[in-house]
Amino acid sequence: MAKLAKRFTKKEWSWIMYDWANSIYATNIMAAIYPTIFASQVPNGDIRWGYATSAATLIVALLAPILGSIADYKGMKKKLFTLFMLLGVIFTPLMVFTGHWKLALMGYVISRIGFSGSCLFYDSFLTDVTTNERMDDVSSWGYAMGYIGGSTIPFVISIAVLLVLDYSPAAMAFSVLIVSAWWLVFSIPMLKNVTHEHYVERPDKISVSLIFKRVLATLKRICSSKGLLLFILAYFFYIDGVDTIISISTAYGTILGLGATGMILALLVTQLVAMPCSIFFAKIADRFSARKALIGAVAIYFLVTMLGFYMGHSMEPSQDAYEGIFDNVVETVEIPENYKDDAADFIAQWKTEYKSDEPDMEKLAALTIVPLEGDEQRAALLKDELNAALSAEMSLQTDKIEAFRSAIGFSTVLFWIMAIMVGTVQGGIQAVSRSYYGKLIPKERSNEYYGFFDIFGKFASFLGPVIYSVMAQITGRSSVGVLGLAILFIAGLVLLVVSKKHLEALEKQASAN
């Protein structure tokens, strides 16, 4: 680590450390832990989560160019960065202290706006802390440190607490609270040492009309540069797929019935693989060009979506058959209206336990139906009726149960394979996209240009979860929602291929300047 400290300047290291600081939000809140908990506790949780993610990213996308234009003025970038960072840190805890899933989603939307907004200004600081020649390395090390630090150390701690406390409310609260604490503490180097070096002089009066004129002028400059426009369009499509996979992967697996612990551990492996691969990806970009490196990464993501579709498509028939077993019990046992919720919880316990090859029969025998006042006999009778009906149904449907268990095992293996595949390119595709764009734009207007870079990325992030949620809702098959994401990667690949001549010309022009 001493050699690396000499290699990077204090500003570069401080900038890199913000990836270490905020990556825990991406892991615990956006990708692995909280979506799994939410999807398992809320009806249609994966679909609701997709819509909430789309709402947050849409808001940031609409604000990005305007905020970027303001941030390019001297002294503004750091203030806006700090504001959005604190917004994320403060609103994250509300996700576990509101007591209602709608309010929890609201806390998620606001905190994600803070997270995404701070990342917009953080990305644009890349042009302030380093040079074009060092940009790929600095950007890639940012993602690498994010994976090994923010995405691994507190992630492992969170998993350990969840397992030790058996996913209790206190454990879930801890996995969210550690996000804010880690994020705030490790943002200090960025706040202290990184300064706004390339800026536009601030006018005496910043008016709304002036801001919109600057935004429009930047948009015209982007559209007049064919290479820059084609790259941003390609980025729009492929980063859409990348962000959507990050956001819905565990929710998708939960809906298919995969175990939460197994999925979270698989995503931990993703973080561990991503750390060295992010650094290696920068070397590939230097050796073969950033465009070719990005084409390879997008192709791998396309294969991931195909595997994800196949995983769901092959498992859903067995899952439907398994769910049908318990539907039969509901139809055969007369359940009073005032006991329906308790009976549903009772049956859900059986459903969860029988996914295992060795269900805990003592745990099932200890289940009770909570009686209403003066109704102990009816509650005990209902418990006995449900136990008898469920036991009989389990003995009659052994083939369906075994088929579902086998499908879970096969799908879990596929999930691990996809987690490793994603780890090889997840950090690299984001890091090289960020640094490649930074090399092509005017440094003094980096925030304006990154504002449009962000708006394309955020509109993409809005579109992807909507595609997944709508297609899953219409067809009743979450696997079809994953299949829709493949279109985004195909579009990104085509645009990266056809933009070769224009991007090479733009690279030469940037090098000359």
Nearest to 510 by CA among 449, 446, 438, 451: 438
Residue 289: left (phi > 0), alpha (psi -120 to 50), or beta?
left
Q: What percent of the chain has pLDDT over 90?
A: 19
| Residue 151: pLDDT band with limits 50, 70, 90 | low
Is the distance from CB of 73 to CB of 63 less than 8 angstroms?
no
For 260, residues 6+ apart whose C-beta sits below 8 A from its C-beta are: 36, 37, 40, 167, 250, 254
CATH class as words, domain 11-193+206-315+405-512: mainly alpha
For the chain, the C-alpha Rg in angstroms (whole number) is: 25
Model pLDDT for residues 155-196, shown as the tens digit of each residue: 889 989 988 988 888 888 899 999 999 999 999 999 999 987
**What is the rounded distance in angstroms from the CA atom of residue 21 to the CA atom of residue 11?**
15
Q: What is the pLDDT of residue 510?
A: 67
Model pLDDT for residues 323-344, shown as the tens digit of each residue: 888 888 888 888 888 888 888 8
Model pLDDT for residues 91-135, shown as the tens digit of each residue: 999 888 777 888 888 999 999 999 988 988 898 888 888 887 888
* Higher-scoring residue by pLDDT: 444, 434: 434
| Residue 426: pLDDT band with limits 50, 70, 90 | confident
Exposure of 384 in the CB half-sphere (CA atoms within 13 A): 6
Q: What is the pLDDT of residue 203?
A: 67
Domain residue ranges of the chain, discontinuous segments joined by +: 11-193+206-315+405-512
